Structure 1
Amino acid sequence: AQVRSQLPMRWRNKDLAALYFSVLDIGLTRRDKLRFLRGYFQQPLRQTFSAERSLLAWLERKAEALYARKQRYGDAL
């Protein structure tokens, strides 16, 4: 384990994509996702969507790509 004063942005983004992928099949509602975003970024949703627009779009694409790969290869990821 590493102890760091600041987490590299790349690692944070990768972990968020993996988290999003892992919850795709558990039946979260749109409201559940919005609640997570509000808590994670600690700011109003309007501000989060404005400031993190590209990150949120990337997370969506990355999670969908991982999900498609899982559909093709099963658990052999």
Structure 2
Amino acid sequence: AEETLHLHLIDLHRVQLRRRVPRRWRVKDVGSLYFSAMETGLTRRDLWRFLRVYHDQPLRSIFEQQGEFLRAVEKRAMALKEKGIPDD
């Protein structure tokens, strides 16, 4: 069966040169990306690979150091899902 690929655009209007991106912006952007990717068939391994590249660290370090960030990202993605925002 032929499948249709749906791509999502994330508004990155805040792209600018900064020493540090505010946490709330990172949570919003990464949470939105995660929400958009939820129904694409990504595996847990795909998500872990993304985390390793995004943070440029081993997974163990990421989970130890970024646990609060990851929970906030998941919370953001689930909130979008609960709002019924279409992901297709």
What is the percentage of aligned positions where both structures have the same residue? 44
Q: Is residue 34 of structure 2 the alignment partner of residue 20 of structure 1?
A: yes
* Greater RCO (CA < 8 Å, at least 6 residues apart): 2
The 5 A counterparts of 1:6-17 are 6=19, 7-17=21-31
The 5 A counterparts of 1:44-63 are 44-63=58-77
| Residues 28-67 of structure 1, C-alpha deviations (whole Å, 9 max, x = no match) | 1000000000000000000000001111111112211211
**Structure 2 alignment gaps of length 5 or more:** 1-12
Q: Is residue 63 of structure 2 the alignment partner of residue 36 of structure 1?
A: no
Amino acid at match of 1:4: L
Q: CA deviation at 1:8?
A: 2.0
- 1:67 corresponding residue in structure 2: 81
**Structure 1 alignment gaps of length 5 or more:** none
- Over 3 Å counting, the alpha-carbon distance change for 1:26 and 1:51 in structure 2 is same
Q: TM-score, normalised by structure 2?
A: 0.72
Q: Over the residues paired in the alignment, what is the CA RMSD in angstroms?
A: 1.9
Q: What is the aligned length?
A: 73
Q: TM-score, normalised by structure 1?
A: 0.82
- Over 3 Å counting, the alpha-carbon distance change for 1:3 and 1:62 in structure 2 is closer
